[in-house]
Structure 1
């Protein structure tokens, strides 16, 4: 499993009009619907259910919302960089601007956890975060993300 296999280039976006966590979640699901054929309402409900267990804002302006979707066949992702950070109830109480959402099949088990760990490792570095925040081109953002995974392996 690689970030390149989880994240289609067209599932990487820069969003400027997001003003709330609720709107962010809707936008993530809309992108997932367009890229992977996931039902928007099903995905939104699953993300909200997961958030009710505990927020997925991991700190440093990064959030990793994730949910299981029965209709999916494999784990897929959506990445967004927000032009303006939004409150997300993160562990450090800081707003988020880098968000990588994962959607996994209901029975994905260990694959879901491996994907979450992979994304977490890729986004944890300050250098990677700075590069992501310094770029607005989705193609470049995708390249940075895939490159971050490769540099973690080295």
Structure 2
């Protein structure tokens, strides 16, 4: 699975202000609602927070990959959030998170979401790419950085 299958330039939000993980999840719910009116912000927020209860999706090096299954979703939906200031995310390396890629998964999807999560995490292991994403001035530029080979 390619990251371009999960993300569009309009689903990249730069310099979001959030004081903590809970506030960020609430903001993510509202952002998805603006982009996909059929999604209820509360459902997105609840699903993401429930997944976080199982264990943090903070993968280290300033990156988190929150994900959740949602009933009624027909296809995978990705959202890249770059925070204005890093926040604590209970990441595996205990470092704060600045880049957050959110993946919403159709409830009917079987194990195919594992390939999607792997495709996303591979992109964020590239330190040069991550440094460029942190500095990107527009969502279009960030999309180009994230989707280039």
Q: TM-score range by the shorter chain?
A: over 0.9
Give TM-score scaled by structure 2 length.
Answer: 0.94
Residue in structure 1 matched with residue 56 of structure 2 by the alignment: 55
Q: Report the more deviating stretch, 38-47 or 26-35.
A: 26-35
- As a proportion of its length, which structure holds more helix? 1
Q: CA deviation at 1:111?
A: 2.2
Residue in structure 1 matched with residue 139 of structure 2 by the alignment: 138
In 2, Cα distance between equivalents of 1:10 and 1:86: 23
Residue in structure 2 matched with residue 80 of structure 1 by the alignment: 81
Q: CA deviation at 1:139?
A: 0.8
Residue in structure 1 matched with residue 71 of structure 2 by the alignment: 70
Contact 1:15/1:81 (CA < 8 Å) preserved in 2? Answer: yes
Q: Which runs of 5+ in 1 are unaligned?
A: none
In 1, Cα distance between equivalents of 2:97 and 2:64: 6
In 2, Cα distance between equivalents of 1:109 and 1:49: 19
Report the number of matched residues: 148
Residue in structure 2 matched with residue 40 of structure 1 by the alignment: 41
In 2, Cα distance between equivalents of 1:33 and 1:6: 17
Contact 1:88/1:95 (CA < 8 Å) preserved in 2? Answer: yes
In 1, Cα distance between equivalents of 2:94 and 2:134: 19
Contact 1:64/1:99 (CA < 8 Å) preserved in 2? Answer: yes
Give TM-score scaled by structure 1 length.
Answer: 0.91
